[in-house]
């Protein structure tokens, strides 16, 4: 790609803006204006919503046509748009280090960090009969959580503790990790992630006796905004017997946070 004959050579200003279409949106703009929160005077409100990290619904908000495009098409389109974002920032996309970034980011979004948006990637539950008649609490603790704040698109990293009391079905232990991972690979708010994991476990295990606790650090809190590197956020969803104080205390003892009031 030629640079219109300019002699500019610094990586930050050498990228010509022409050739990057700002209105050539392949989705024809029809899905890009849904919330009406455009314009500078809404910036403050948008910042406030983001920093409060409120979620509007338990289901991840998706459009009905979310999967009309296949993954390869999505990667191509995101690559194009991310190139545009980098270009608007003034970065030189002909630079050897930068030129592959739009495609890398696009593949990472679709195939890795947001792959949990697609129900086709949902782990199939492997259930076993509870042959040992083990009907005490089972706790899988310290499951790695790596998800992404839907308000800032930066990571939320922490751990999940998942517990259930068998109703006759037992799930493979690794499936607990897989379920946590699946719902994590989405733009998320921590409260919704916690409830989505709990709801899935209730459905799969056919019991209300499920608990999910997540303790995580938000990079949007530590690396920007208030720059609080020490705080973490704890969320919990308790169902069935976990609503009872004794059962809940037993769980908290197992995971070693019995001194925390949740
Ligand atoms: Zn955030």
Based on the fold, state whether residues 70 and 157 are members of the same structural domain: no
Last residue of a domain, one of 113, 143, 171: 113
Q: For all residues of the chain together, what is the average pLDDT?
A: 84
Q: Give how many domains the chain has, as a whole number.
A: 2
| 120 occurs within a structural domain | no
Query: What are the tens digits of pLDDT across the range 202-234?
Result: 999 999 999 999 999 999 999 999 999 999 999
161 annotated among ligand-binding-site residues: no
Is residue 149 annotated as involved in ligand binding?
A: yes
Q: What is the pLDDT confidence band of residue 48, given thresholds at 50, 70 and 90? A: confident
Look up the pTM and report it: 0.80
- Together in a domain, 28 and 82: yes
Tell me, yes or no, whether 175 and 65 share the same domain. Answer: no
Examine the domain organization and report whether 131 and 108 are in the same domain.
no
Judge if 136 and 233 occupy the same domain: yes
Q: How far is the CA of 194 from the centre of ligand 1 (A)?
A: 16
| Cα–Cα distance for residue pair 205/208, rounded to 1 Å | 8
Residue 45 Cα to ligand 1 middle (Å): 14
| Domain coverage including residue 162 | 127-255
Residues 106 and 193 in one domain: no
* Dihedral class, residue 75 (left if φ above 0, else alpha if ψ from -120 to 50, else beta): alpha
Same domain for 30 and 62? yes
The pLDDT tens digits for 126-143 are: 888 877 777 789 999 999
Residues tagged active-site: 149-152, 190, 218, 220
E strands present in the chain: 127-129, 137-149, 155-165, 169-171, 187-188, 210-218, 233-238
118, part of any domain: no
CATH code of the domain covering residue 183: 3.30.1130.10
Near ion ligand 1, which residues have CB within 5 Å?
A: 149, 151-152, 220
Q: What percent of the chain has pLDDT over 70?
A: 81
Instruction: Give me ligand 1 centre to Cα 50, in Å.
Output: 6
Last residue of one domain, picked from the residues 68, 90, 113? 113
């Amino acid at each position: 790609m030629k640079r219109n004959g300019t002699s500019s050579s610094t990586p930050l200003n050498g990228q010509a803006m022409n050739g990057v279409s700002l209105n050539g949106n392949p989705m024809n703009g029809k899905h890009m204006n849904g919330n009406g929160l455009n314009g500078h005077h809404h910036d403050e409100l948008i910042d406030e919503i983001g920093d409060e990290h409120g979620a509007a619904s338990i289901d991840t908000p998706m459009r009905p046509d979310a999967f009309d495009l296949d993954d390869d098409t999505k990667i191509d389109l995101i690559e194009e748009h991310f190139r545009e974002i980098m270009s608007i920032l003034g970065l030189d996309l002909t630079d050897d280090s930068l030129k592959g970034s739009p495609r890398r980011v696009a593949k990472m979004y679709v195939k890795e960090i947001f792959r949990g948006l697609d129900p086709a990637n949902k782990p199939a539950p492997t259930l076993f009969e509870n042959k040992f008649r083990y009907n005490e609490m089972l706790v899988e603790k310290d499951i790695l959580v790596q998800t992404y704040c839907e308000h800032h698109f930066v990571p939320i990293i922490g751990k999940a503790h998942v517990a259930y009391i068998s109703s006759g079905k037992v799930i493979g232990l690794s499936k607990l990790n897989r379920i946590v991972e699946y719902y994590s690979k989405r733009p998320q708010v921590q409260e919704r992630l916690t409830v989505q994991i709990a709801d899935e476990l209730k459905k799969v295990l056919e019991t209300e006796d499920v608990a999910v606790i997540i303790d995580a650090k938000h990079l949007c809190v530590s690396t920007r905004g208030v720059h609080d590197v020490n705080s973490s956020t704890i969320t919990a969803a308790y169902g069935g017997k976990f609503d009872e104080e004794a059962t809940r205390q037993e769980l908290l003892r197992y995971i070693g946070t019995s001194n925390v009031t949740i």
